[in-house]
Chain A
Amino acid sequence: MKYFARRLFHATLLLLAVSIFSFAILQLTPGDFFAPMGLNPQISSRTIAGLRSQHDLDRPLPARYGHWLWGVLKGDLGRSFAYNSPVTRLLAVRARNTLLLTGTAMLLAWLIAIPLGMWSAVHRGKWGDRAAGVMTSGLLAIPDLVLFLVLLLAAVRTGWFPTGGMVSASFSDLNAWNKGKDLAEHLFLPALGLAIATLPTLLRHVRSAMIEVLEAPFIQAARAHGIAERRVLFRYALPVAANPLISLFGFSVGTMLSASLLVEVILSWPGIGPLLVDAILAKDVYVVIGAVMLSSILLVAGNLFADVLLFAIDPRIRVE
């Protein structure tokens, strides 16, 4: 228990530091949300000053930070200037959408990577493995941007899939089954894109972890005892190979809010990504800070999750 308390304490310190850093960085960039309005001759500088003061932008930074921090402790992440609504509500919806996307993509990627990686390792060096290797290298070499644009192009040209958004305009009119179908259609391309983008690294990790385990003496010993090859693979090799993969999984969970930014922007998926991009450009300060904090929390939680998972699964880590 002391261990957890210590981790929690460190995590809190980290989050505090991140928030201070984000505030400071945003402050360093010139201008604020209302600055572009000054370009409009029809809006008087007095109006702008009034708006600024209304949103506390004229107060010094430490004071604003303190005010924000106090709000956080009460569960209030501030207000978005652009949307004129509480950040918390805004982020909640967007975060949900993002998690849906990354969750699906992760599932897809792992479901392909594990069997393919195992198969590659077993047939190491043969044409199948080589082909898979070429494919992963190719995918790694292609910039994610290009990949997502290609998918977008495919959607536009073929018309098989919607080119953006999460649901159709008529979503609320549909029955439950069609709602699901509609969501799936919209989800398909972005999830596929993200899965393809993360697949190569994952595949390589699975393959090398399996190869390393398959060369271990205890595998040869198991074969020497007449254990069937399939059982050796799944009951002996995979559990041991899982060790490095579990850490990887934990970290992947940690990046679930951030990994999808690019695909969301390009394929117009209403997640945190586009929100964050717009907010940064517009200097919608509290939205940015809120999104960054949320991502950080998930990252820290992901790391802790990886450790707990490892402890639960690998008996060697538990000290007697």
Chain B
Amino acid sequence: MKRGLKPDTNRTEPLLRIAGLSKHYVQQRTFSRAEFTVNAFQDVDVELFRGKTLALVGESGAGKSSLARCIALLERPSAGKIELESEDLLALNRKALFRIRRQIQMIFQEPVSALNPRLNACEIIAEPLAIQREGTQLQQRERALQLMEQVGLDAKWERKLPFEFSGGQRQRLAIARALALRPSVLILDEALSNLDASNQALILELLAQLQVSHSLAYLHISHDLRLVSQFADEVAVMYESRIVERKKTHDLFASPEHLYTKELLATVHSVESILLERSA
């Protein structure tokens, strides 16, 4: 099911290990004393490997984005552990965390709001370098141009502003920016959802290439199971804030166990099967 563009690396040590991760929010009703707890996600165990993609599927509101943000270190979980190459990330102080952040980068669903509308392409890509103070301005610009070429954008567009790019191109920009600090983990939160079909295919192709060349581990959140079947090595299914099933892609699609997984898979139809059903 998955196009074999990458070598099948041996299952060595996990690059990123998440154990028992939980997050809950406590909300208070206005004008009253009642508080209630909302569980974003509970007891999540996940492992990411270099060169492999783990897909996270489930309904909107199941906590996938919240989980992604915690792994990307944008939010703090309520409990659990995040280990990057055996280093406990949640135990680090702010300064050490600042240096670790470059290792885990995130691509968001909506490229429009993820890119600063007042910076041009080159500045957007170079921004992480500037924040982490890597290289001189000249070196930063050179690296930004390099990255633009890598993601398939013409370097002569370096001064263009985000609104001048199409949706697919903006995602490429976002990817280039994410790669600037040479991360080892890339988290994609519905990064393909706002793109049309042709762009989705192109971006997936790009991501696959980059995964091989940069030896990246991907955590890809998506509600589109058809796409998932194409790009994922392993799939984790989230239902009501817990992971209810986790299998290799082929196994999950061939023999799903959990009721929810079965329900989800039932909604995936290929054009062929739909046409068949209609003509019947």
Give A contacts to B, CB under 8 Å: 1-4, 311, 317-319
Contacts and interface: CB of A to CB of B under 8 A. Distances in A.
B27 interface: yes
A65 to B, nearest CB: 35
Contacts of A2: 32-33
18 contacts: A1-B31, A1-B32, A1-B33, A2-B32, A2-B33, A3-B30, A3-B31, A3-B32, A3-B33, A4-B31, A311-B30, A311-B31, A317-B30, A318-B30, A319-B27, A319-B28, A319-B29, A319-B30
Contacts of B32: 1-3
Nearest to A318: B30
Interface of B: 27-33
Contacts of B31: 1, 3-4, 311
B113 to A, nearest CB: 16
Contacts of B28: 319
A317 B33 CA distance: 16
A318 B27 CA distance: 12
Top 8 A-B pairs, shortest CB-CB distance: A2-B33, A3-B31, A319-B29, A311-B30, A319-B30, A319-B27, A317-B30, A311-B31
A4 B29 CA distance: 13
Nearest to A4: B31
B217 to A, nearest CB: 38
Contacts of A311: 30-31
A19 B30 CA distance: 30
Nearest to A308: B31
A317 B30 CA distance: 8
Given A1-B32, A318-B30, 5 more contacts: A1-B33, A3-B31, A311-B30, A319-B28, A319-B29
A3 B33 CA distance: 7
A100 to B, nearest CB: 32
Contacts of A1: 31-33
B198 to A, nearest CB: 26
A318 B28 CA distance: 10
Contacts of A4: 31
Contacts of B33: 1-3
Which residue, of B28, B31, B32, has the highest number of chain A Cβ atoms within 10 A?
Answer: B31
A54 to B, nearest CB: 50
A2 B31 CA distance: 7
Nearest to A6: B33
Nearest to A310: B30
A4 B33 CA distance: 10
Nearest to A311: B30
A4 B30 CA distance: 10
Nearest to B36: A319
Determine which residue in A1, A317, A319 has the highest number of CB atoms from chain B within 10 A of its CB, and name it: A319
A4 B31 CA distance: 7
A1 B29 CA distance: 11
A1 B34 CA distance: 10
A4 B32 CA distance: 9
Contacts of B30: 3, 311, 317-319
Nearest to B29: A319
B36 to A, nearest CB: 9
Considering residues A2, A311, A317, which has the most beta carbons from chain B within 10 angstroms of its beta carbon? A2
A313 to B, nearest CB: 13
Contacts of A317: 30
Nearest to A7: B31
Contacts of A3: 30-33
